[in-house]
Structure 1
Amino acid sequence: MVNETIYQHFRPDEGATVSEIADLISQAQSEYRPILSHFLNPRERFIAKTLVNENGQIKMSSEGLVPDAERKRVLFYPAYYQPTLADYELSLFEVKYPIKFASLKHSQILGALMNSGIKRNVLGDIITDGKRWQLIMDAHFGNFLQTQVESVGKIRVRFNLLEPASLVVHRDEWEEIQLTVSSLRVDVLVAAVYHLSRKHAKDILNAELIHMNWMLLDKPDQELAVFDIVSVRGYGRFKLKTVQGISKKGKIRVTVAVLKK
């Protein structure tokens, strides 16, 4: 049973996530066995780590196949247990498509998967070396992927199951930048990251073009926390990595990792 005071450390809109993760930890403790989560984003894993530290009797580890994966499955387990890669129930697929005649984008592949009925929480990272595209997925949904998803946009594709050793070297395009901002409000950070006016940032939000942690955001005064990921359609994504303190002028110093469109 989660200590009710733990909720005060998180935003009200994260209450459901806190409860879901707390239930997994409680299950691992009461059944004295490892319990596996769906894929969690960095913010959700931060919540999980906080709850595990609060519990004190259950450990956690995470795996996403990709080095420094953004999305990982988390295993909660008693101290006696030693996790193995098989415990995470991950499958690696490569997208086979006519490379000489077509090109793919991350957003196109993700859109095709979502439109097929695949839930975001059974998908890990989608990666590329510039030509080849691969994705990590909950192993239980591999058959659905291979039989039900036949195209990405107008491009015919198929998904080949590979061994983890066949993982491509992902081309990491995140760039870290240092900013000083007046607050951690989403409109303030969007404006600072993309060199926009506050009004323009709010207009983008009002047009429903901003998502935080893959959920549509509709409040310009929503404050970001460390590990939150913001997607801005037409611009790209960024994640809040650190909050370093207050400058002499009263500004907040932050580190943000930016992924251009």
Structure 2
Amino acid sequence: MDETRFLDMINWVKKRKQEKSTDFLEPPVLAKLIKMVEKERDVQFLSSGGYEGAERQLVVLYPDFLSEDEIDVPIGAIEITADFKKENITHRDVLGSIMALGIKREKVGDILINDNRCQAIIRKDIISYVTHNLTRVGKVNVHTTEIDINEIMPVEKKMKEIEAVVASLRLDSIASVAFSTSRTKMQDFIKSGFVRVNWVEVSDPAYIVKEGDTLSFRGHGRAIFDSIKGTTKKDRIAVSIKKYI
């Protein structure tokens, strides 16, 4: 979704005094659109991907006289059962099979695969269609049912902890440690737009990173600046970084 369409949605909510939602958004787009709506006085928002920590989320805009508890978030969930580990079924296989039904990518949120089942977050209005028609993933027969959103079981993401001592909390300093790249090269990558902080592109190597920030380095994955452990006698900073593996 581009900014113009999102602005049209904001104006629609202002005029009609009703709620309206986007489809599922990638994190960089989500971050950009949330910044837009945060500037509005008469329109509130909530974002959700169906469970805590979801990457793909949709945004619901609603007039400020409503409370968040009154909002109907149009998110549902399905469970696809098969021997996923034995058949080597991947995220791409599941997404491809759903889209082969004529479902657009933006109607589908996160897809979570365990050994013998897959759970997928999708919009409520397509649940019935998907559960009735998704009978195969690739060459494997599957059984698809609707489940309560509270039954979602997030897949634990594997991370490794990196402990280091840095001169400062500048982005180039933290990112060079997180992604095992020299600080000089990292400065060039940052200036060229390869690095994002909390899904937003940051082109200033001197940007100060805060605890909890998510760093993304195009083609090299993601990491979380977890915490500041303390300072050394030479006033350098001991930090902990968690990198997705």
Task: Give per-residue Cα distances to partners, 1:21-75, cap 9 Å, x unaligned.
Answer: 2111111111112111111222222112211122222111112222111111211
Task: Give per-residue Cα distances to partners, 1:182-232, cap 9 Å, x unaligned.
Answer: x99xxxx9xx8487xxxxxxxxxxxxxxxxxxxxxxxxx554433446775
Contact 2:83 2:115 in 1 (8 A): no
Question: In structure 1, which of residues 141, 164, 168 is the aligned counterpart of residue 126 of structure 2?
Answer: 141
Structure 2: where are the runs of 5+ without partners? 182-191, 200-215, 227-239
1:40/1:240 Cα in 2 relative to 1: closer, same or farther (>3 Å)?
farther
Q: Are residue 92 (structure 1) and residue 77 (structure 2) matched?
A: yes
Alignment partners' CA distance in 2, 1:107 and 1:177: 30
Letter of the 2:78 counterpart: F
2:196 maps to 225
Contact 1:21 1:48 in 2 (8 A): yes
User: Identity of aligned pairs, percent?
Assistant: 20
Classify the secondary structure of the residue corresponding to 1:65: coil
Structure 1: where are the runs of 5+ without partners? 1-15, 196-220, 243-254
Alignment partners' CA distance in 2, 1:42 and 1:137: 16
Q: Are residue 152 (structure 1) and residue 140 (structure 2) matched?
A: no
Task: Give per-residue Cα distances to partners, 1:129-186, cap 9 Å, x unaligned.
Answer: 4543200100111233223332222221131101123222432235576999xx99xx
1:207 maps to none
Q: TM-score, normalised by structure 2?
A: 0.66
Classify the secondary structure of the residue corresponding to 1:48: helix
Question: In structure 1, which of residues 49, 52, 55 is the aligned counterpart of residue 40 of structure 2?
Answer: 55
Alignment partners' CA distance in 2, 1:93 and 1:194: 39
1:26 maps to 11
Q: Are residue 80 (structure 1) and residue 65 (structure 2) matched?
A: yes
| Structure 1 residue ranges, 4+ long, deviating more than 6 angstroms after superposition | 176-180, 239-242
Alignment partners' CA distance in 2, 1:104 and 1:85: 39
Question: In structure 2, which of residues 71, 93, 97 is the aligned counterpart of residue 108 of structure 1?
Answer: 93
Q: TM-score, normalised by structure 1?
A: 0.62
1:5 maps to none
1:43 maps to 28
2:222 maps to 238
Between 48-57 and 118-127, the greater mean CA deviation after superposition? 48-57
